[in-house]
A and B are shown apart, each in its own frame.
Chain A
Amino acid sequence: MLDLQAVSKHFGGVRAVDGVDLTVARGQILGLIGPNGSGKSTIVNLICGLFPLTSGRIVYNGADIADLPPHARVTMGIARTFQNIRLFGQLTVWQNLWVAQNSSEQRKQNFLKRWLGGSRSAREEIDRTLEFFDLAHKRDELAGNLAFGEQRRLEFARALSAKPALLLLDEPAAGMNAEEIDQLDGRIRRMRQDGITVLLIEHHVELVMSVADRIAVLNFGQKIAEGTPAAVQANPVVREAYLGTAAAA
């Protein structure tokens, strides 16, 4: 579904991402782990088109999308969350999902309906999503006034508003407690059931190991391993670079 081919991104002298090949297969949950600063978020930003590649290709459903603007990629079915939450704090919870209804299907609606009123089905979709994320009772609150865990959920919900085929989650569990992580685990599994492909970036090793079908490991902008969770966990290179340091810390 998504193919990164020898993708590099350099910021001045910093090789944030350095010749990474990565394949996300349709219907899978691919975990992407690696120490802080290893280039995980940069990969998400490149897939979303927030800045140009230094070199390489990004192929989505057979087409090179490297030159498309970010909003066009969302319309093609790629949605994301941010590691450091970026909600529209001055909009209500409900409005945060409303503005994000930008799938190709939603764009086909009658112009006036889409921009002024909003169809009944569009409204019902928002209500359902809020229900799924246990945010229905907060629908009219300003997003900026939500508690941290709720904001994380709303980010996830907003990403789903555009009906993505590929969902990029950048450290969705950061700052969450055990119970919240458990719920998140369930919701990510639900994505797979619904046929959504997921690229899950996570620091929380247990969560990734539990939900991911495959795991890729980054270190200093390079992919150092890839395989099933068990294989990655057993890989000595990975243990040294990442799991080892985590265990030592």
Chain B
Amino acid sequence: MDFYFGLIQIIGVHTLLGLSAYCVLLTGQVSLAQAGFFAIGAYVAGMLTVIAQWPLVPALGVSALVAGATACAVGFPALRVKGLMLVVATVAFGEAVRLFFFNFTYQVQAGNIRLGPHGGEGFRQIRYFPENGWTTLDVMLFIWAVVALVMAGLWWLNRSRAGAVLRAVGEDELAAQSTGINITAVKISAMTVGGVIAGIGGGIFAHYTTHIEHVQFGVVLATFAIAYPILGGLSNVFGTLLAVIFIQGFLIEGLRFMGDWRNLLFGGLIVLAMNVRPRGLLDAGAMLALKRLFFSRKERSDA
């Protein structure tokens, strides 16, 4: 049972990570910086509950703010470049964050142990959940409440004018500019919202794993972050969720028996999926087909 709880928690946290990349991808930007924002969220939230003894929710709020502010600041220079150059710039940022935490030590004495981030050894003993008597089920419910909240927010944003503007910028920057959209402001806003979501995700991640270290936040995590919305498609937030379930639940856990061959299969499947469905599993066409199915049923029952 604990295995499944663990898996469901991973899926929840990775959904947040994927959604943070989704926001940025809507504006047509491929960002590999999301793992960096996630790392910032993880360390900030962890330090606040462990060292400053804050409750979890305000700690997550602050980690969201710090990660969001970082994303906003990174957005200004990074979004001046496009395409491959942006990928390179954001990878560089992600690696810089990782190396920062590799060298970052800030510990306090608590009884006979020292608490806090300790460079390459990482940050151990983030024991907010066990110390406060949260069961695995409580943790799982908490994670999914946050995921549901974020998904509802993004779903609503998607239907708003802001969502349409993000997509307009993603589709054709030149046309967007020519209709009066300030594309720089839009891209930086998307980056900031993405940073906020990644910060929350990272903060939660730190608490359920209880031990974080720099290697967890490398390029691999950044690649996962962007793979989810690309595979899931941009028409809808549920695409990202589906992609996380598929990758984490099926490819990583379901195929564990294949050992290292799994990675090869993983890469192959992503390439295949993107060839068969270049706009993601749940693209605009699929959504339209689903709607038609629903509406034609209704018409028949009306008749």
B-chain residues with CB within 8 Å of residue A90 when the two chains form the complex: 167, 171, 284
Nearest B residue to A164 by beta-carbon distance?
Answer: B180
Check if B174 is an interface residue, CB within 8 A of chain A: yes
Return B34 CB to nearest CB of chain A, in Å: 23
From known contacts A88-B167, A90-B284, A91-B168, infer whether A116 and B161 are also in contact, taking CB-CB under 8 Å: yes
Which of B178, B183, B284 interacts with A50 by CB under 8 Å?
B178
Check if A158 is an interface residue, CB within 8 A of chain B: yes
Which of A75, A80, A88, A118 interacts with B161 by CB under 8 Å?
A118
Return B163 CB to nearest CB of chain A, in Å: 9
Please tell me if the beta carbons of A99 and B160 are within 8 angstroms of each other in the complex.
Answer: no
Check if A236 is an interface residue, CB within 8 A of chain B: no
From known contacts A87-B175, A90-B171, A115-B160, infer whether A102 and B284 are also in contact, taking CB-CB under 8 Å: no
B-chain residues with CB within 8 Å of residue A95 when the two chains form the complex: 164, 167-168
From known contacts A86-B172, A117-B160, infer whether A91 and B178 are also in contact, taking CB-CB under 8 Å: no
Please tell me if the beta carbons of B178 and A70 are within 8 angstroms of each other in the complex.
Answer: yes
Residue among A82, A86, A89 facing the most chain B CB atoms (10 A cut-off): A86
Check if B273 is an interface residue, CB within 8 A of chain A: no
From known contacts A88-B167, A142-B284, infer whether A102 and B180 are also in contact, taking CB-CB under 8 Å: yes
The count of residues in chain A whose C-beta lies closer than 8 Å to any C-beta of chain B is: 34
The count of residues in chain B whose C-beta lies closer than 8 Å to any C-beta of chain A is: 22
Return A127 CB to nearest CB of chain B, in Å: 15
**Binary B-proximity of A129-168 (CB < 8 A = 1, otherwise 0):** 0000000000000100000000000000011011000000
**Binary B-proximity of A84-103 (CB < 8 A = 1, otherwise 0):** 00111111000110111111
Please tell me if the beta carbons of A50 and B160 are within 8 angstroms of each other in the complex.
Answer: no
Please tell me if the beta carbons of A48 and B180 are within 8 angstroms of each other in the complex.
Answer: no
From known contacts A99-B161, A116-B162, A118-B161, infer whether A71 and B180 are also in contact, taking CB-CB under 8 Å: yes
Residue among B165, B177, B178 facing the most chain A CB atoms (10 A cut-off): B178
B-chain residues with CB within 8 Å of residue A189 when the two chains form the complex: none
B-chain residues with CB within 8 Å of residue A4 when the two chains form the complex: none
Check if A114 is an interface residue, CB within 8 A of chain B: yes
B-chain residues with CB within 8 Å of residue A162 when the two chains form the complex: 179-180
Please tell me if the beta carbons of B161 and A86 are within 8 angstroms of each other in the complex.
Answer: no
A-chain residues with CB within 8 Å of residue B167 when the two chains form the complex: 88, 90-91, 95
Interface residues of B in 178-230 (CB under 8 A from A): 178-183
Which of A75, A82, A88 interacts with B180 by CB under 8 Å?
A75
Complex Cα distance, B182 from A170, in Å, reads: 22
Check if B140 is an interface residue, CB within 8 A of chain A: no
Complex Cα distance, B168 from A102, in Å, reads: 13
Check if A69 is an interface residue, CB within 8 A of chain B: yes
Check if A74 is an interface residue, CB within 8 A of chain B: yes
B-chain residues with CB within 8 Å of residue A116 when the two chains form the complex: 156-157, 160-162
Interface residues of A in 46-105 (CB under 8 A from B): 48, 50, 69-71, 74-75, 79-80, 82, 86-91, 95-96, 98-103
Please tell me if the beta carbons of A99 and B177 are within 8 angstroms of each other in the complex.
Answer: no
Which of A69, A91, A114 interacts with B171 by CB under 8 Å?
A91
Return A121 CB to nearest CB of chain B, in Å: 14
Complex Cα distance, B124 from A175, in Å, reads: 68
Return B45 CB to nearest CB of chain A, in Å: 28
Check if B87 is an interface residue, CB within 8 A of chain A: no
Please tell me if the beta carbons of A99 and B178 are within 8 angstroms of each other in the complex.
Answer: no
From known contacts A99-B165, A115-B160, A115-B161, infer whether A86 and B175 are also in contact, taking CB-CB under 8 Å: yes
Residue positions of B touching A, CB distance < 8 A: 156-157, 160-162, 164-165, 167-168, 171-172, 174-183, 284
Could you give 28 example pairs across A and B, Cβ below 8 Å? A48-B178, A50-B174, A50-B177, A71-B177, A71-B180, A75-B180, A79-B178, A79-B180, A80-B178, A86-B174, A86-B175, A88-B168, A88-B171, A90-B171, A95-B164, A96-B168, A98-B161, A98-B164, A99-B168, A100-B179, A102-B180, A102-B181, A115-B160, A116-B157, A116-B161, A117-B160, A118-B161, A142-B284
Closest 5 CB pairs of A and B: A102-B180, A74-B180, A100-B179, A86-B175, A70-B177
